[in-house]
Structure formats: structure tokens, C-alpha cells
Structure 1
């Protein structure tokens, strides 16, 4: 009888603990309970930060909930380290102030096991910022990035949208094992500097099953990145999917291991692109870069390596890039070009591109005439069908 009672008590306390643990693992902190309001006028920044602080400091898995509705919010910094996995569940629409000078609007910083989800949207309300954008004349210009991920690890961003950002929609810096799945990013073609997702100094970043259309690069991969995977992304409008620009700053780290696969680009200025500045202050490396199974639809420059990249004439084009590009594969890339030159591979005179391979390329000119290609400071290896054919060495 005593043993039976003991077993019963053990079972009772186990079930009690399990129930308590389940509650801890399912705590949700609704911003409406922290003074938030879905009237589209009240600044919800304080409510969002308060809900985050409570969720982050609580044990177990916790959620910050922004329910359906329209919310205005000023700049928000959401920091770790949290006491457990944390979810930012955005079901509604958050709008940024029209006039905002902050470098970042929503910033997630030093968070492990973060999930951003909910089917909602961030609206940067960038129309005024685009009209006043003078970054081509002012190299020190600063426009607010809509969503920043700084030093975020083992995390996922899934099923959310970003629209009309003032500058970059999403910026990834110093992150490790961060996945973007089924995100939608949208801004008009004339919205300058609105890169969809910019990745810098990070490892193990993936973007998959997403739709991105902007006024700049759909995805841009800067210096210091390793193990970057882009899969099943629809890009357009925009400037394409780019590695670079590289070689602008002295302290840049190498880019190694980028795979862009099973993507489509429609009406973009570029398709798949690698770009570096001609007047690099320091030698750099970009290697193990693969572009595979890509469809081009009326793309201005479908395949391009440009080591003379110099927007707005802001560099010395008489110099030669110090970025060594090597081990690059372009495979199974087909569709239509909006210009006669479908393949342009312009490499550095000082460090010619090494081990560039092209296979199964079929790019036709929408204008009706045949397409052509140009290569400089490179001796590509070719296999399978190549159209347009490359110039003979």
C-alpha cells in the first residue's frame, strides 16, 4: 500500500510538472496586453519592446504576439540573450513612420533560436525616402533598413512579408544558421537601394521558396560569407541575385561556398552576377560559387561577372580589381535575354578568374537577333550546349 501510494505521488507530481512545463513552453505575450493598439496611429514600439522583454526573460518557449490589425511602430530593438527559444509572431500589419532617420527599424540582435512567423507584414512606407534618396551623390547617406538580423543564430524566418522598405528590406550581419523560408518581399522597380535580403559576414544562411521583387538586388551577398544557399527564389523586378560588390573596403573577408539553384528571374537588370570594384584597397577572394538550374525571362544581363563595377563613376576604372574569383560554375541556365550580350565575363587583369565552368547554357535574345558573349581575362571551360558560344581564346 505504501509502495502504491508512493507510485501514485510520483505520477501525480510528474503530471503536475508536465502540465507546468507545457504552460511554460506555450506562454504568449500579446502586445495589446502591454498597451499596444491596432488603430494605425498609436506608436506601438514601447508595447512591442515590453512584450519582448517579458517573453525573453521567461523560461521555456515563449511568443511575442502581434495579432491581426494595423499597427504603427517607431524603431524597435529586440535583444537577447533570452532564457529559451522565442517566437515573434506577426499576424497583423506593422507600418513604419513615414519620416524616420534611424539606421534600422526592427532589429533582432544576439538572439538564439528565434522564429519570426505569423503570415503578417512589415510596411516600411518608403515612398518619400525613395524620392529623397541621394546616395549616388552622398556616400555617407543612411537610410533605415526595415528588418535587421544581427548576430542571430539557429533561427528561422518563415511566412512573413516586407513591403516598401525605405532602404534594404532585410539585412543579415554576423549570423549563423539562419533560414528564410516562404518570405515575400515587394517594392516597385524605381525604389532605389531596396535590396531584398543583404547578407554579410555570416555562415550557413539559406533563402528558399520565396518571392522577391525590388528596386535593387533581390539577394545580395557581401564579403565574409560562407555556406550560403539560395533555392527556389522568384526574383523580379530588381537587379538580380548578386555576389558583391566586393573589394570596396580594406577589412573584407573572403566569400566561400555560395549555391544559387532552381531560381527564376523575370525582367531584372541582371540575372546571376558577381561584381567587384576595380580599385580594391586589398586583395580578396571569392571562390566555390555555383549557379545551377536558373530560368531567365527577359533579363538584361543573364550571366555576368563584372570586375570593373563602378556605379556613378565613383572609383578609378584605370586600376584592376584585387579580388581573385575562382571555382565558378554556371550550369543549366536558359531562357531569354533583353540585350544582345547574354554572357559577359569581365575579370581582373591583375588576378584573372580561375576555374570558371559553363555547361548547358541556352539564352536567346528577345529582340529577335542572335545573342553574343564577351570574355576578358578568363579562359572558361565549357561542356554541353553553350548558346551563345564563347569567344575563342
Structure 2
């Protein structure tokens, strides 16, 4: 735990010390660049012009301001590097995407709002800002890969995202890729339970990331941690509905993935499809290690604890010998109820690359029907202390 806290605190001190007080900032209001905010006019060019002016400013601390109103914005990239640092993007109104029918050709659209190579960036809503993806017009359209992420940050170091409401994304609400020193706090992420692939936050190839004190109600993972990610601290997340918090999937198509130094604490899962999940593909390579889940509450979660080295969402999957190594995983202080008709705890590890150093300490999860918890454990080295699971792991033939 200390290794995560050290790097996160170090990064946050750096971040907060580089966000100037409002009185020292030069403000670029999007309305001064042609945006209207009536929910009808296309305000994309006004946003682009305001960003260009702020990013190229020599005045130091600058702010792009989105005031109260409804701003219709098409696909846009906020490109860096910027001369001005730090730079803030304040959202006090609603930014809404056009419906899918207005996007034109969509087979290669990866994101709707994209910040790229912008260091020392703060995107702040002060509890008022809303980012609305108009996802209802997308969810029945084609595969997930043909839908854009609502808000993506790539190669943005020293990033703060705070105080926003994210609604009805086309796909992921927020993606963090190749970023260092990230703080995400006080978000509300909302999409219907049946909306497909509407993850709350996806993290990939990033390090020193803190996510805390947020509410996530989605149709997929509340948070997903993907390959190349390390030193992540997640706390104070209320998840549900949704698919819980996932590490992975890792090792798809035989790829090499690494995830380590992950701490998830003081979170709650209410009527989620899963709780805490680690999922890796057969045939993958790499590792997921030094992972700690602590002080977690489950309220009628379907599958509270899962480690699955046989992840495959397809109807048929070939059995492969190699696997992403899963080790040094600790569960401590996990309590609550499960509605699972299968296993309350399911640890399914590879015969050739078994899971090692898995610890259950003070884990007490009971079915809502008051029966005994159902457990499944194969090919894993698990120790249990003060728990009600009675895990008996065995090796598969």
C-alpha cells in the first residue's frame, strides 16, 4: 500500500501546486469565439478557436471557460503541446454530442472529445459541468469498436479531472492512455444498466493514477485497468449498476501485458454484475501482480470475487498453455451479500501458469438467501484467515 501512496501523493502535490488561482488566469470564454450555447447551433468552431487561443498564449496560466448553457459540439481534438502551462478547461454548462446520424462516416472514429499531449491540464466542473454523449443514438448501432469514447486523454502528464457529470457515453465515458500523474475526483458517471460497453473509466499504459470519491452507474465496468498500467490508487467509489472494477482483460491474441502496484479500497458495489475481477486470456504473456483490495462492501453483487485466466467472451475458445501470470493478490476486509447463482468466489487459474500468493483475510460474503457461499478454486495458491469461504483449491487434470 505504501508504494502506491508515495507515488500518488508525490504526483498530487506536483499537480495541485501547478494549478493557479482563478485571479491569476487569463480566461478564454468559448462564447467570445463564436459559441452560442443554445443546444441547436454547432459550437465546434468556437471551442476550437478558444482552445487555439489558450494553448498558444504566452501569458502563462490560462483557462478555457464553458459557461452555463447547452453547447452542441462535434468531434474535436484539443491538441498540445501548449505554450501556456498550466492550462485549465472549466465546464459550467453542458457539452452534448450530436446524434449518430449527424456524424457521417463512423468506421474509424475513436473518440468524441480528445485531449492529446497537453501537460498540466485541469478539466474541472465544480459540480455543475455535464458531458453528455447522446449515447442512445449509438447503442444499437454495430459493434462496440465502431462507437467513439466520449472523453479521451492521451499523453497528458499532470492531469486533473474533477467535479463533472458524465452521461450516456457512446462507448467508454473516459479513457486515460499513456498518461502520468493523474488525479480524477468527485465525478458522477451515469448510463442505463443495459447500455453496452459504457465503461466509466478505462486506464491503459499509464502510471501514478488516483481515482477517488466518485459515483459510477454504468452498463459495463465502472473502472477497467488495462495493460501497461502501474501505481494506481482507487478509493471511495460507489459502483452500481455495472460490471464492477476489472483488471484486464490482459493478454488478448497472445499479447504481452503488465499490470502492477494496484490498490483498491473503501469502495462499494450495489447490484453489480461482478465485483472485483482479474481477467486474462489464454495464450497471453506478462503479469498482473502486487494487487490489493481492502475495505470493500457488497450489496447483492452477482459475482463478488473473480480471478479468471480463461477469459474468453466467444462461444468457442481454444485451450492454450501460456497465460498472464497472476500473483501477490490480497483481499482484506471484504464484507456483504451476493446474489450469485454460481460461485460467490471463483478463482480459475491456468494449469501451466498457476496463480500464486493469493491471500484472503477477513473476507465474509453471504448469499442473500442465507445459504453457504459457493466457491470455486483451481490451480491457485491461496491462504485464508478469518474468512467464511472455506476455500479448497485443487489442481485441474
| TM-score normalized by the length of structure 2 | 0.89
* Alpha-carbon distance in structure 2 between the residues aligned to 1:297 and 1:207: 22
What's 1:124 paired with? 133
Deviation at 1:320, TM superposition (A): 4.0
CA contact (8 A) 1:248 1:277 kept: yes
Residue 143 of structure 2 is aligned to residue 134 of structure 1: yes
How far 1:80 sits from its partner (Å)? 1.4
2-structure distance, mates of 1:157, 1:78: 15
Matched, 1:226 2:225: no
Deviating 4+ runs (over 6 angstroms): 21-24
> After superposition, where does 1:312-331 map in structure 2 within 5 Å?
312-313=314-315, 315-316=317-318, 318-331=319-332
Distance in 1 (alpha carbons) for counterparts of 2:326 and 2:255: 17
How does 1:274-293 map onto structure 2 within 5 Å?
Answer: 274-280=278-284, 283-293=285-295
Q: Which has the larger radius of gyration?
A: 1
1:26 partnered with 2:25 = yes
- RMSD of aligned residue pairs (Cα, Å): 1.7
Matches within 5 A, 1:159-308: 159-280=163-284, 283-308=285-310
Q: Give 1:213 shift.
A: 1.0
Q: Is the 8 A contact 1:247 1:321 kept in 2?
A: no
Distance 1:234-1:82 versus aligned 2 partners, 3 A rule: same
Structure 1 equivalent of residue 375 of structure 2: 373
Q: 1:54 aligns to what?
A: 53
Structure 1 gaps of 5+ residues are: 1-20, 136-140
Could you tell me how far apart the structure 2 residues matched to 1:205 and 1:133 are?
32
Equivalent position of 1:113 in the other structure: 120
Residues 1:321 and 1:195: Cα distance change in structure 2 (over 3 Å) = farther
Task: For residue 392 of structure 1, report the CA deviation from its aligned partner.
Answer: 5.8
Classify the secondary structure of the residue corresponding to 2:139. Answer: helix
Cα offset for 1:312? 2.8
Equivalents in 2 of 1:313, 1:377: separation in Å? Answer: 23
How many residues get paired?
364
- Alpha-carbon distance in structure 1 between the residues aligned to 2:346 and 2:254: 27
Q: For 1:211 and 1:55, how far apart are their aligned partners in 2?
A: 31
